[in-house]
Amino acid sequence: MKQASVYKDLKGHEMILDDLSSDERTLISDLRSAAKKAKDWSAFSNLWMSKVSEFYSEQGLTRPQIRQTVGYRVGQDLDSRLAVALGLARTPDYRDELESLIGERFQTRREFCEATGLTEDMLSHVLSKRKHLAINTLEESLRRIGYTLHIAPLG
C-alpha cells in the first residue's frame, strides 16, 4: 500500500497532497523549492502570494476561496518557516493556541478564567510570555472546558 503524501505545517496540521491535481502538486513543489532557496523573507512572501493567487484565480476562485486552498495554506506555512529561520519570528507555542482558543470560544479573558479556574493575573503573565503554566495546571484547566493537550512532531 502506497503511503500518502502529506504536508505537515508548523502547528502539526496535516494536509494530504495526493488528492490534489497534478498542477496543484506542481505549484506546491515549486513553492517548496523557492522557500529552500530564499534568503529574503519579503521577496519570498511576494513570490508565493503572487504564484498562488495567479494559479487559483485562473481557475475562477475568489480571494476568500483561495485562502482555503491547500496551496495557499502551504505557502503561508512556508512563509512562516522562513521568517522563523531568518530570526524574524518565533515558532508558535501553546500560548498562541491558548490565546486563539480564548478569542474563538469566550467573550472575555475573565469568562475563560471562570470556566477554567485560572486567575486572570496568571493568564495575563502567561499570554504576555512572562510565565508558563505547569503542565498539570494547563491540562486540568483545559479539561474543564473540553480540551486536552497532545504532543505533535515538528513539521
Cα–Cα distances (Å) from 122 to 4, 118, 141, in that order, read 43, 7, 12
**Confidence (pLDDT) at 92:** 81
Please tell me the least confidently modeled range out of 2-6, 18-22, 80-84.
2-6
What is the identity of the amino acid at 6?
Answer: V
Q: List the one residue out of 37, 13, 34 whose CA is nearest residue 154.
A: 13
Q: Is the pLDDT of residue 1 over 60?
A: no
8 Å CB contact between 81 and 45? no
Cell 476561496 sits at which residue? 65
> In the predicted model, what is the mean pLDDT of residues 21-36?
97
Measured over the CA atoms of residue 4, residue 75, residue 50 and residue 36, the dihedral's sign is negative
pTM: 0.71
**Confidence (pLDDT) at 133:** 94
Q: Is the pLDDT of residue 6 over 70?
A: yes
> In the predicted model, what is the mean pLDDT of residues 82-110?
93
Q: List the one residue out of 116, 115, 45 whose CA is nearest residue 81.
A: 45
Q: Is the pLDDT of residue 5 over 70?
A: yes
Cell 519579503 sits at which residue? 42
8 Å CB contact between 136 and 117? no
Confidence of residue 13 (pLDDT cuts 50, 70, 90): confident
